[in-house]
Amino acid sequence: MQEMNIQWYPGHMTKTRRIMEEQLRLVDAVCEILDARIPISSRNPDIDEICGTKPRLIILNRMDMADPTAIQQWTDYFKSRGMAVVKTDCKSRRGINDFVPAVRNLLRDKIKKYEEKGQVGRPIKIMIVGIPNVGKSTFINQVSGRKGAKAENRPGVTRGIQWVTVDNGLLLLDTPGILWPKFEDPQVGIRLAYTGAVKDDILDTEALACHLMEMLWQRYPDALRERYKIDEAPETDGYELLISAGRKRGFLLSRGEIDTERMARVLLEEYRSCKLGRFTLELPPQEA
């Protein structure tokens, strides 16, 4: 199968990091939004180092698209590492109301200290971070009731610091911190491409679909059997599976060959729109 290596030129990485480190001083906690389908690939591994000892909250977003069992495994994983976890579907608002109580619980000692110092009502401030397209703006809009305004979404963009009120005494930095994925690992780029976080037009759709087919055949074979009526040996490679599915769908070229390009586009579209099911492509280290 064709090797895939997705290149990405984050450009403003150093600047982004500097801005984030400056803004960290202004906040009580960092809230990192992840794509629940790919919690490893949608994460920047430097985040732990950047955040230092700041209290941390993980949002497992797009829960509507991920495997519920895996969501629970990831919740347990992050909790065992001392982070608060909230599961959300920002489209339907599911889980959104859990955010404020989770923040207050995470920061309860700090809030108590503020109160002991007589600073009752001192606002709690949170920075939202995440890679592009993970749902940061939608999340901020949902938790705050803010409408429409999409914060500038390019790495390293600066402007005046502003706060969005979420709840009495809880503020969010209105510009989310843009993290860069760890593209040095080719698998990360490929998984971001499966989910549509990396645009198709820079990719070889067929090669991408072969990789996805193979991975799904290993993890969720029943879903593929049911949708594409394929029944190949467990170790069948992605291209063979694509041909088989294309044949079953009747995607033929004029010479009678299978139109694998078309099948590739269909697979990616059906995966991204969850027509195949809710799949998580990455499990926590101990579960993998």
Report if residue 136 touches ligand G4P, rule: CB under 6 A: yes
| Helical (H) or strand (E) element with 59 | strand 56-61
Cα 5–219–243 angle (5° rounding)? 65
What distance in Å separates the CA atoms of residue 60 and residue 33, rounded to the nearest whole number? 6
* Stretch in the footprint of ligand G4P (CB under 6 A) among 135-143, 219-227, 244-252, 260-268: 135-143
The token pair at 287 is 């579960």
Q: Does 212 bind ligand G4P (CB under 6 A)?
A: no
Site for ligand G4P contains 205 (CB under 6 A): no
* 135 touching ligand G4P, by CB under 6 A: yes
Nearest to 196 by CA among 42, 43, 15: 42
* Helix and strand totals (H; E) in the chain: 11, 7
Q: Min. distance of Cβ 117 from ligand G4P in angstroms?
A: 36
Question: Which residue number is nearest to ligand G4P in terms of Cβ?
Answer: 135
Residues 78-117: x/- map of binding to ligand G4P (CB under 6 A)? ----------xxxx--------------------------
The tokens for 165 are 């009120």
The residue range among 14-22, 60-68, 182-190, 216-224 that interacts with ligand G4P, by the rule CB under 6 A, is: 60-68
Residue 206 found at the interface with ligand G4P (CB under 6 A): no
CA dist., res. 200 & res. 212, Å (int): 14
Handedness of CA 46, 51, 53, 55 (dihedral sign): negative
Tell me how far, at minimum, the Cβ of 244 lies from ligand G4P, in Å: 29
Q: Which of 73, 138, 187, 236 binds ligand G4P (CB under 6 A)?
A: 138
Q: Which is nearer to ligand G4P, 135 or 238 (CB)?
A: 135
As given in the structure block, the two tokens for residue 278 are 């809710």
62 binds ligand G4P (CB under 6 A): yes
Alpha helices in the chain (DSSP H): 13-24, 47-51, 68-80, 99-106, 108-116, 136-144, 186-195, 205-219, 221-228, 238-249, 260-272
* 152, 227, 271 from 252: Cα distances, Å: 44, 18, 21
Residue 278 touches ligand G4P, criterion: CB under 6 A: no
- Which one among 16, 41, 44, 61 touches ligand G4P, defined by CB under 6 A? 61
Nearer to ligand G4P, 195 or 260 (CB): 195
SS3 246: helix
Q: How far apart are CA 41 and CA 38, in angstroms?
A: 5
Report the residue from 133, 187, 205, 236 that binds ligand G4P according to the rule CB under 6 A: 133
Residue 42 or 260 with smaller CB distance to ligand G4P: 42
Nearer to ligand G4P, 91 or 113 (CB): 91
Told to check if 137 binds ligand G4P by CB under 6 A, we report yes
Q: Which residues bind ligand G4P (CB under 6 A)?
A: 61-62, 64-65, 88-91, 130, 132-138, 153
